[in-house]
Structure 1
Amino acid sequence: MAKDLNVGKYHKSVDEYSDLINEVYKNYPDGVNLPPMYAQFIDKSMSNILIRLSRYKFVAKMLKPTDEVLEVGCGSGLGSIYLSQNCKSVYGIDVQKQEIAEAQELSRRDNVKFEVKDLFLLDEEKKYDSIVCLDVLEHLSIEDGRKFIEKISKLLKPNGFFACGVPSIYSYEFQSPLSQASHINCPDRDDLERELSINFDRIFPFSMNDEMVHTGFQKLAWYYIMLCTSPKD
């Protein structure tokens, strides 16, 4: 392979390193263009993108290589792509056409599928090993949220798990104007657990601050991640 890049001299094997790095540039000659939301994070606040991805990292650790995963509210797809590197497949759905178009443009992986789809239109005959829903429930009223969780429970395999992530009510006054304009129902963790328990027998609640997931005092948490198992009939 032609050595097109100037790789410098500080490598154990300059030739080997040059071959490998040239292969990377050959495979991705145009790089990847991030959607505007993530471009804004890189321009204004890199910590936001790191915090978002840390939520997916936590959930990804729970997956098996054989898992078929549904992500509801996948947005522009960066999280689904992350999950797909840790499981058999990911089906990402969202009701926002622009974000699905961005996800389809961003993805380079064959085991991820993105589609404009309403959760309530999914066929309940198809069951998933895991369902992931991060930063979605806060956009729904309490009544709509109950219907949403009930639908998810019907799409989950009996031995599967549902990962739900929601910003806490205690973080609301510190959220960005964009978030405050969109969020309808940011819950207290006890309230969220009660809502989830209507459709799930076992719930494992976690608090989260920035990249740190913990079991600490919930009112000091800015975000909650709830792992739900054993969907009720």
Structure 2
Amino acid sequence: MTDDDNSPENRDRARDPVNQGLFDLRDRVGLARFGLMNNQVWHQDPKRLVFTLARYKFVAKMLKGKASVLEVGCGDAFCSRLVQQEVGRLTVSDFDPLFLEDAEARMTPPWVCGTLVHDVLAGPLPGRFDAVYALDVMEHIPPEREADFLSHVMAPLGAQGVLIVGMPSLESQAYASPESKAGHVNCKTGEALRAALLDRFHNVFMFSMNDEVVHTGFFPMAHYLFGLAVGPKAPSGTAE
């Protein structure tokens, strides 16, 4: 390195001009940071972040082109940007305002989305959406409140609405940590998740997942499950 290379005006210039945009973006909008939940993941078990990103990518591809989408139980909403990239408008919701405050603090244009503080067990979600998704939420819902949970997340959907539910399989719990098991009070088999959704939707499509790979394989060997439900049924006693 010559003296000229180390001058103040050159100190922050990339040697390869192709890379200069990296520094320009840093100076213009700053460096992105992890959300509260995924910060812990990155410190404790980085590979888990890959699995979570893959789940959100699956949702993003399934909902591509939808005009308005709602996420239920977004946590820190760090991975929600993958869905936002593919849909017209994304709103993220959680019952803990601290997570949404963290998410809002990290938003920079053009990645700004709506936020909603809402306890899904307290009542139906407000508004109208083409699709709703909830990842790693339903396994935390007590079985006796499952009907309320599903009714409330379906409430914003129209006749052609889509709901995606993702959760660890019941079979995976043999390998879960004690901390995870304590919170996972409603994990299901693939057939049980299908049945719960078919009771409320005209069509249900099931997928299995192991690590970051989504497939249509044998449910009992899946670590994670997706149920993609389409076309809500009318509540009992009402005309469709």
TM, length-normalised to structure 1: 0.88
Q: Percent identity?
A: 30
Alignment of 1:1-233 (within 5 A): 5-8=12-15, 14-15=16-17, 17-29=18-30, 31-108=31-108, 109=110, 111-119=112-120, 120-123=123-126, 126-233=127-234
- Structure 2: 5+ residue runs without aligned partners? 1-8, 235-240
Over the aligned positions, Cα root-mean-square deviation in angstroms equals 1.9
The whole-number CA distance in structure 1 between the counterparts of 2:26 and 2:32 is 12
Go from structure 1 to structure 2 and tell me whether the alpha carbon gap of 1:18 and 1:218 turns closer, same or farther (over 3 Å shift). Answer: closer
Kept in 1: contact 2:81–2:111 (CA 8 A): no
User: Once superposed, which parts of structure 1, at least 4 consecutive aligned residues long, lie more than 3 Å away?
Assistant: none
Q: Secondary structure at the match of 1:145?
A: helix
How big is the shift at 1:183?
1.2
- Report deviation, 1:28: 2.6
**C-alpha contact (below 8 Å) 1:170/1:222 kept by paired residues:** yes
Could you report, residue by residue, the CA deviation over 1:150-209 in whole angstroms, capped at 9, with x for unpaired residues?
222231122221111011111112112331121111111111111111110100000110
C-alpha separation between the residues in 1 aligned to 2:10 and 2:42? 31
Question: Structure 1: which amino acid aligns with 2:193?
Answer: L
Matched length: 223
SS in structure 2 at match of 1:64:
coil
CA offset digits 1:8-60 (Å, max 9, x no partner): 3xxxxx44x2542332122233x123234312222221110110110000110
Q: Do 1:153 and 1:200's aligned partners in 2 also have CA atoms closer than 8 Å?
A: no
TM-score, normalized by length of structure 2? 0.85
**Cα 1:36/1:122, change in 2 over 3 Å:** closer
